[in-house]
Each structure stands twice: as C-alpha cells, then as structure tokens.
Copies of this chain bind each other. A is one copy, B any other.
Amino acid sequence: MCNSMTSKLHLLSRFRVVLCQPSHPGNIGSTARAMKVMGLHDLKLVNPEKFPDNEANALACGAVDILENAQVCSTLEEALTGCTLAIGLSARKRQLSHRLVSVREAATEARELLLQSADEDSKIALVFGTEMSGLSNAELDRCQLLAMIPTDPGYWSLNLAAAVQVMCYEVRMALLDEQQALPHAGLKATPATNDEVEMFYRHLEQTLTEIGFLNPHSPRRLMQRLRRMYARTALEKEEVNILRGILTLTQHPRPPEE
C-alpha cells in the first residue's frame, strides 16, 4: 500500500452525514452502520422524531459509537457548522436551479475540494432529507450542490439508509486509488511459463490423436480453439501439472480398484 493512497483515505474524517427530520429510528441506526462500514463517523441529526432509541441501536449493529457521538441539532444551519460544501442528495430530479450531478461526480468533486483546500479542518456535508419527501426547498437552499442517485423512473423509492450507503460508498471509492479499489486475494499463484504451456499443448494434441478425437490428417482448427480457450485462463504452473496428469492417465488409464 503506498502512501498517497493512505493519505487520501484519511480524508474520510472530513465528511459528515446530516439527516434532516428522520422519522424512523431504525433508519438512523442503519445510517450509522452504512457510514461506519465505509469509514465515515461524523453524524448530525436535525430534529429527529425519536432519538436516542433502542431500534436505532439495534440496527446500528457494531456502529453504536456513531450514534453515541451523533449530535442532535435544531436547524440544518447548525448541523452545517464548519462545512465548506453541503451536498444535497436526491433520488429524483428537482425543478430547481441547483447544479445537479451524479453521486459519483459529487464524490469526485468533494475529494478535489478537500485536496485543494488549505483549511485542514473544513468539512463536507452529505445532506439527506426526510423519508417521505426528501429535502425541502428551504433545506436545498442551504446546499451548494445537488447529487442524484439514478433510479428507475417508475419506482424511485430509495430507502434513506440505502441512499446513505450508496453515497458513502461513492465517497470511499473516490478516495481509494484504482489499485486499492481492486483488492488482491490471498494466494499468489505461480503462472506457468510459455514452454510449460507449449509442452502441455503438444501433450494434449498427442493424446487427442491417440483417443481418436483429433484426426491428424484433417485437424481443422481444433488445437487453435483449445489454445484460445486455455489462453484466456492464463494457466498456473500447478494447473498445467494437473492437466498433464490427466492426459497421462487418459493415455494409460489406471481404473480404480473396487
């Protein structure tokens, strides 16, 4: 992991999630979980209907710390204290003069703003409206950018916590380097060398001829097709050994004893 990647992920602490008038405590809990799983921790609640609440805690799972540290505010303005940019979220188009971007673009713009900003304490707010009707026009007026999650035009009823999940996911993706977004799995396989693969093809051709699948007088394009197929796999050394073991026993079967 290189330094530049690490240094971008620490920008996650500069993001704040703001829920305006959430009516279901469960959604507040699910929001905390959705944030924490992506590495965000700063949550502000503007006039929540019920908070704190047991259902919120239950749905937060291991993210109760976020609820415990969540600040309850009486106005959106208060919740935006210290923020240089407030991004309003919407699941549908609004008849407003806000600049409207996709959540992906919004995440990229937010990253660039943080990277260019000299103020190392400034925050960026991700602002979500109420479950029933989203952000009010007055709330939108406090935002500088409107970000949209594309949804089916016939059914755009995106759950609040699901919207938070998608937005936080995009923020994390924007801060991850391409390299890091593409994790590498545990086992490192040793790729077969070109000559090992060529010897396998020779062995295969020989065996196919012996069992009568390949007619050497009229081979058509069979070996070419098989080569193309195996080429796509990028064979590993051990796989070539297995395949050649199969070929050897195809040539000289050793049926299992009963």
Give A contacts to B, CB under 8 Å.
30, 33-34, 36-39, 61-63, 91, 93-98, 100-102, 104-105, 146, 148-152, 155-159, 161-162, 165-166, 169, 172-173, 176, 180-187, 189, 208-213, 215-216, 222, 225-226, 229-230, 232-236, 238-239, 242, 245-246, 249-250, 253-256
User: B183 contacts A100, CB within 8 Å?
Assistant: yes
| A159 CB, nearest partner CB in chain B, Å | 6
Specify the chain B residue showing the minimal Cβ separation from A65.
B155
**Bound-state Cα–Cα, A162 to B151, Å:** 15
| A31 CB, nearest partner CB in chain B, Å | 10
Specify the chain B residue showing the minimal Cβ separation from A230.
B233
- A93, A249, A255: residue with the most chain B Cβ atoms closer than 10 Å: A249
B residues less than 8 Å from A95 (CB atoms): 185-187
User: B97 contacts A187, CB within 8 Å?
Assistant: yes
**Bound-state Cα–Cα, A105 to B181, Å:** 10
Besides A102-B182, A102-B183, 20 more A-B contacts (Cβ < 8 Å) are A37-B151, A37-B158, A38-B151, A38-B152, A39-B152, A62-B155, A93-B183, A94-B186, A95-B185, A95-B186, A97-B236, A100-B184, A101-B182, A148-B183, A150-B176, A212-B255, A215-B256, A225-B238, A225-B242, A229-B235
| A223 CB, nearest partner CB in chain B, Å | 11
**Bound-state Cα–Cα, A176 to B105, Å:** 14
Specify the chain B residue showing the minimal Cβ separation from A217.
B256
**Bound-state Cα–Cα, A245 to B214, Å:** 11
B residues less than 8 Å from A222 (CB atoms): 242
**Bound-state Cα–Cα, A101 to B78, Å:** 41
| A108 CB, nearest partner CB in chain B, Å | 12
User: B155 contacts A256, CB within 8 Å?
Assistant: no
